Amino acid sequence: MQLFLLAFLLVVSHAKVYFKETFDDGWENRWVESKHKGSEAGPWKLSAGDFYGDAQINKGIKTGQDARFYQISAKIEEFSNKGKDLVLQYSVKHEQNIDCGGGYIKILPAPLDQKDFNGDSKYNVMFGPDICGSSTRKVHTIFNYKDKNHLINKNVPCETDQFTHVYTLIVHPDNTYQIDIDGVKKQSGSLKDDWDMLPAKKIKDPSKSKPSDWVDTAKIPDPAAVKPEGWDDIPAEIVYPDASKPADWDDELDGEWEAPVIRNPDYKGEWSAPMIDNPDYKGPWIHPEIDNPDWYDDDTLYSYDSNAYVGIEIWQVKAGTIFDNIIVTDDVKEAEKFREETYGKTIEKEKDAKKKKDDAEAAERAAASAAEEDDDEKDEL
């Protein structure tokens, strides 16, 4: 029992929260807005939105102007995640029913000029939803490796409604990962398999090429086929049956009358020989592969020596997204606890508040419509 308690205390003592932000009063002192975009930068507003479960818990920073860039960052306790879990979690609410814009967040290394934070600023991880029309509705998960950004090669759909959702990225020191939305696992696997950070183990043999006599055409026209007699004598169009010149047609005024034509129902189109199996077909040629001489393995894909900032760097056509309850930690349980203390306590109340808001707006529209009909009836009298 004592050994168990000691082990438990050791686990607890090693859990580390590097950054936690609930956007209480004074958040402006912890966050720095970039000046990089100048007049193209949009304003941030502290808001719980038009509907919420708890006015304080759901208060976050909200994008405040349409068609603007939003670039803001906060310093965190610098750390290396070597040999430890890396957990990035936050909530995002597209209250405006977003049509095109980002809702993702970044972890960046030192150094960073926060006043000049922009899309070209080097980052370690970029994670979160991106929505633009019906074609882009996914969770971005991008890792920087050897100064190149690598996007996940799997599609992870994001949430697209107007409610708050919690996005969690967990990266383990065995180079595995997990992506959760609202505490539910949406994707997991290996950094080595699901990102193209490492060179391919196999490559096409450069000394091999498809033989010149290789036949990869599966079907050919039947050489024994003969065009049926009279095939070409069938016209594509024929004169409309029973067509006759109108009685009031004047050749001098209207020109020479011509009977209308219609598509010939007997016309079969241009003749072509039926297709048969090619006796010389060898199947598709497959390029032989060899071991890639440039391949190497790396068990430190997950690891970054410097994690020093959290940043939001997005463009939005329609503003109104609320970011809140950000946590960076090495403890999955700590992130789960934080999610339950925030999202878990408020999401059902938020849904109720949204329904009441929608019902009130519907009743207001109905009343306005009824009043307009009354006015129309009075005008008629």
> If you write DSSP's letter for every residue of 224-284 in order, what string do you get?
T--PPTTGGGS-SEEEPTT----TT--HHHH-S----EEE-TT---S--PPEEE-TT----
What does the pLDDT read at residue 379? Answer: 66
d(CA 321, CA 72): 14
pTM of the predicted model, to two decimals? Answer: 0.80
β-pairing, 148-151 vs 164-171, is: unpaired
Q: Are 86 and 109 in contact (CB under 8 A)?
A: no
What does the pLDDT read at residue 287? Answer: 96
Residue 269, by phi and psi: left (phi above 0), alpha (psi -120 to 50) or beta? left
d(CA 102, CA 70): 10
Q: Are 335 and 87 in contact (CB under 8 A)?
A: yes
Joined together, the tokens standing for residue 9 give 């205390």
177 φ, ψ (degrees, to nearest 5)? -145, 165
What does the pLDDT read at residue 248? Answer: 86
d(CA 291, CA 201): 6
Which CATH code for domain 15-193+299-363?
Answer: 2.60.120.200
What does the pLDDT read at residue 2? Answer: 53
CA dihedral for 113, 115, 116, 121, sign (positive or negative): positive
d(CA 84, CA 295): 26
What does the pLDDT read at residue 380? Answer: 65
What does the pLDDT read at residue 295? Answer: 96
d(CA 304, CA 124): 7
What does the pLDDT read at residue 19? Answer: 97
Exposure b/e, 329-368, CB count within 10 A at least 16 = b: bbbbebbbebbeebbeebbeebeebbeeeeeeeeeeeeee
Q: Are 208 and 287 in contact (CB under 8 A)?
A: yes
What does the pLDDT read at residue 241? Answer: 83
All residue ranges of the chain with pLDDT < 50 are 3-12
d(CA 15, CA 21): 17
What does the pLDDT read at residue 369? Answer: 80
What does the pLDDT read at residue 381? Answer: 61
* Residue at 199: amino acid letter: P
d(CA 54, CA 50): 12
d(CA 325, CA 21): 5
